Amino acid sequence: MPLNSYLTLGRSGLRVSPFCLGTMTFGEDLGGNSGASVEDSETILSHYLEQGGNFIDTANGYTRGHSEKIIGDFFQQGKGKRDRVVIATKFVMNLFAGDPNGGGAGRKAIVSQCEESLRRLQTDYIDLYYLHIWDRVTPIEETMSAMDDLVKAGKVRYLGISDTPAWKVAQAQVMAHFRGWNPLVALQIEYSLMQRTVEGELIPMAEELGLGVLPWGPLKGGALSGKYTRANGIKMQGLRGARIGDLTERQYDIIDAVGHIAAEANVAAPTVALAWLKSKSGVRSTIIGARTLEQLEANLKALDFTLTPEQITALDNASKPVLNFPADFLAYAPSVAQAGATVNGVPSQMTPLVPKDEGSRW
């Protein structure tokens, strides 16, 4: 599957690449080795576009707004065709110290943040605009109404949501449908072999309500990059070299499973981790970040690699999450409802409650 084998996003006609270029690392404003220079960022952008990619993800607060500015300058200077790409950005992050309305999801803040993003991106419209993270103090109807107004004003084309509980996303989506507002078409969530709890509520909700799933953190901050193993004992590092905790035995078990399949298939560990995500139900486009061109090229190799059913099962078993009730309990639902029949390809077992013959029912 090449980058130009496009997929429609959620219940919409928007075509996007199977891998989305994440640009959280564009810009060196945060110091250390956490970001890419402007020159390196433009090289990464150019290579992604040359390979057929059309989907770019950023946010108003990434590198204090510099990420958006780098993208805007790139297209303004004619290094790419703006109308040929899908630019996604987000609101909520407050960049104005002491200003309570400088961020968040209230109408005043949303409109201001959108105008700021349009200015930095140097564009007349944003293709996909996300609520970045749930703002508890703002009524969701105010947020959805303001987002709908941006679409109707021509400043935004499609709407998405990120890092929000499933029940709140469902409330927002159903409200939008009943009030005739533009619906959400995308759900951005952390999802990887080391973060699968989203399979309990968020992903089934997204599939039911027409939101395409876009995983972020597919390599769990580098834990699945192949750099960290039981043998070398290297400690996980966060942005600017900060320690973010030791890997657990369970995480090492997952790393071992990925490493075994990578060695078996003669590919790199990230290729296996990204290919596993590519196979998951509901996933439309995975967000891959890169600080160097080499990292981008390594991640793109996963597009040409497909795991066997046996390898997927092995990874599923090694990373099986503990989900909140009623996720596990619902596994019994087919047997309770179908009494041994197969429906939509899902088989069921007979339960002791099913009468052995018609005459034995009360």
- At 214 the three-state DSSP class reads strand
- At 292 the three-state DSSP class reads coil
pTM above 0.75, yes or no: yes
* Alpha-helical regions (H) of 240-352: 249-265, 269-278, 293-300, 309-318, 333-338
Q: Is the pLDDT of residue 238 over 80?
A: no
Select from 153, 293, 295 the least CA-distant residue to 218.
Answer: 295
Q: Is the pLDDT of residue 244 over 60?
A: no
**Domains of the chain, with CATH numbers?**
7-318 (3.20.20.100), 321-349 (no CATH)
Select from 78, 155, 159, 161 the least CA-distant residue to 119.
Answer: 155
* Marked catalytic residue, from 6, 62, 130, 158: 62
pLDDT digits (tens, 9 = 90+) for 124-183: 999 999 999 999 999 999 999 999 999 999 999 999 999 999 999 999 999 999 999 999
- Residue 327 half-sphere exposure toward CB, CA atoms < 13 A: 15
β-pairing, 7-8 with 15-16?
A: antiparallel
Top-confidence range, 139-153, 219-233, 328-342: 139-153
| Residue 62: active-site member | yes
